Amino acid sequence: MEGAREVRAHRGSELHAKGWPQEAALRMLQNNLDPEVAEHPDELVVYGGTGRAARDWRSFDAIVRELESLEADETLLVQSGRPVGVMRTHEWAPRVLIANSNLVGDWATWPEFRRLEAEGLTMYGQMTAGSWIYIGTQGILQGTFETFAAVAQKLGRESLAGTITLTAGLGGMGGAQPLAVTMNDGVAICVEVDRSRIARRIEHRYLDVEAEDVADALARAIEARDAGRALSIGLHANAADVVPALLAMGAPIDVVTDQTSAHDPLAYLPSGVAFDDWAAERERDPAAFTERARASMARHVEAMVGFQRAGAEVFDYGNSIRAEAQLGGFADAFAFPGFVPAYIRPLFCEGKGPFRWAALSGDPEDIRRTDEAILELFPDDAHLHRWIRMAQERVHFQGLPARICWLGAGERHRAGLRFNEMVADGTLSAPIVIGRDHLDSGSVASPYRETEAMRDGSDAIADWPLLNALVNTASGASWVSIHHGGGVGIGRSIHAGQVTVADGSPLAAEKLERVLSNDPAMGVIRHVDAGYDEAERFAQLQGIPIPMRRG
């Protein structure tokens, strides 16, 4: 792409902007495009198909310029990756407000979105790409680890030891799968069409080995399973061919899922198209390519359902593959559930979700100190302790050192305040930026994923993420974003993000306390409203007021 160059976030305690909130936004934008972090940085693509950090390189330069000169009572407005205004606000207001990929309902289709994108009028922001809080594959690792732990439990096992998981997609998010399976002591076969993605995951120690072919993958998997050894195996092939082939062979697979970029049919390689021809083919005739991709997804999902009928645990991992397969002609695509109703919703009822932070210093020692602080703050949470210890040992940092752990309402603000104290007293060498994925308990409406099968049928109600963004704006977040189409594709989701900076100041402490209390409380409220008793009990416990339950 024109203007492409290599970007890395500033490090250390010297400011390049007029305050830490502005500096934090600048560093996190840069960090999203660090070649260690982004999947395709030249194209400004961070992860998730074409999830971008800025619309084009000219826009990137303009955002950087504006952030460098932005005052502490000004707010920069970003419209789908392009800076469009600077407004006089006040010091409690966010320094940046972002709206990405939003379209009016009837126009919210991939063809219309692509037309507008080609005109240079919009960009796809995914979730944390366009909102500048992507931290590399670790960002999804704990969620994936939790999900596979829940799968083991559902299978009546203590771990995945002695089982084989079959999945596909080793991209920015999908690349977490092999490590999450081996952290749960299982064996994984991960199918990927792009050999460079397999190499990248091996280099980052997320994936153990690459197999020569299907037979080799299966033989190695069975051998490791029988020896009770955890192992992840990359297989260079097309999932639309391999998953049906393994089913036909009667392969002993226990768990099946998928994280190819199925949400965008142009980002799923159809069977019969060579990897090297992918870009040219989709450009030549996007509509025909979409049809071929959907037909392949139909075969792929039909085989997943076949595995389910043969007794495997099968779930959709949030990429919309069931909906695309249905469009491709496979009527029974929704035979297996999405991962949120199957495993994650009880956590959402307590406002629990992917809380994350990054050290603006660039010093891994700062993250080690915050890890220890988390362990001290929550001494009785054995699961959290196991996760932090394992992450310290096995997670390779990409870009600015960062950490993720799932915390809920009543917990997050305590972590934020502690980090702020540690910045203030010099325990940490520079401020910490605290954010989360949009895939959180109260920040997203996505009927094929986070809000699938809500108890009251409110799956498609999108008032919640909008209220979430407004609440975070009103509570003092450093930057707030509203996106459309992340995770599952255009027309299928609306979601919001927030990032708040712990710079050690008393003002930051006040903001952190409010934002990190109110943001997860939105998740509790949303689930109380949808009729989840566990959320109602939790709201009472935490003293979260629910107006319709009063009086």
Distance CA 232, CA 237 (A): 15
Do the beta carbons of residue 309 and residue 248 sit within 8 Å? no
The residue from 37, 439, 444, 490 that contacts ligand NAD (CB under 6 A) is: 439
By rule CB under 6 A, what count of residues binds ligand NAD? 34
Whether residue 308 is annotated as binding a ligand: the answer is no
The residue from 23, 39, 254, 450 that contacts ligand NAD (CB under 6 A) is: 39
**Residue 352 binding ligand NAD, by CB under 6 A:** no
Choosing from 150, 180, 342, 405, the catalytic residue is: 405
Report, in Å, the least distance between residue 441 CB and ligand NAD: 13
The residue from 101, 142, 184, 238 that contacts ligand NAD (CB under 6 A) is: 238
**Residue 174 binding ligand NAD, by CB under 6 A:** yes
**Residue 262 binding ligand NAD, by CB under 6 A:** yes
The residue from 74, 146, 192, 366 that contacts ligand NAD (CB under 6 A) is: 192
Give Cα 235 distance to the centre of its chain: 24
Instruction: Using CB positions, name the residue nearest to ligand NAD.
Output: 171
Which residues have a Cβ under 8 Å from the Cβ of 551 and sit 6 or more positions away? Answer: none
**Residue 259 binding ligand NAD, by CB under 6 A:** yes
Whether residue 173 is annotated as binding a ligand: the answer is yes
Residue in the block written with tokens 């030549």:
284
Give Cα 430 distance to the centre of its chain: 26
Which residues have a Cβ under 8 Å from the Cβ of 380 and sit 6 or more positions away? Answer: none
Whether residue 197 is annotated as binding a ligand: the answer is yes
The three state secondary structure string of 11-63 is CCCCCCCCCHHHHHHHHHHHHHCCCCCCCEHHHCEEECCCEECCCCHHHHHHH
Q: Is 405 a catalytic residue?
A: yes
Report, in Å, the least distance between residue 17 CB and ligand NAD: 29
Which residues have a Cβ under 8 Å from the Cβ of 309 and sit 6 or more positions away? Answer: none
Distance CA 137, CA 209 (A): 18
Whether residue 49 is annotated as binding a ligand: the answer is yes
The residue from 96, 135, 211, 267 that contacts ligand NAD (CB under 6 A) is: 267
In order, the DSSP letters of 360-385 are: TT--HHHHHHHHHHHHHH-TT-HHHH
**Residue 404 binding ligand NAD, by CB under 6 A:** no
Q: Closest Cα partner for 253 from 377, 163, 356, 158?
A: 163
Task: State which of positions 463-502 bind ligand NAD (CB under 6 A).
Answer: 487
For ligand NAD, the closer CB: 403 or 413? 403
For ligand NAD, the closer CB: 192 or 536? 192
Do the beta carbons of residue 99 and residue 78 sit within 8 Å? yes
Whether residue 262 is annotated as binding a ligand: the answer is yes
Do the beta carbons of residue 125 and residue 81 sit within 8 Å? yes
How many other C-beta atoms are found inside a 10 Å radius of the C-beta of residue 432? 30
**Residue 319 binding ligand NAD, by CB under 6 A:** yes
Task: State which of positions 143-162 bind ligand NAD (CB under 6 A).
Answer: 143
Catalytic residue ranges:
405
Q: In the complex, which residues of this chain contact ligand NAD (CB under 6 A)?
A: 39, 47-49, 140, 143, 168-174, 191-194, 197, 238-240, 259-263, 267-269, 317-319, 439, 487
Binding residues for NAD(+): 48-49, 126, 172-174, 192, 197, 238-239, 259-263, 268-269, 317, 487
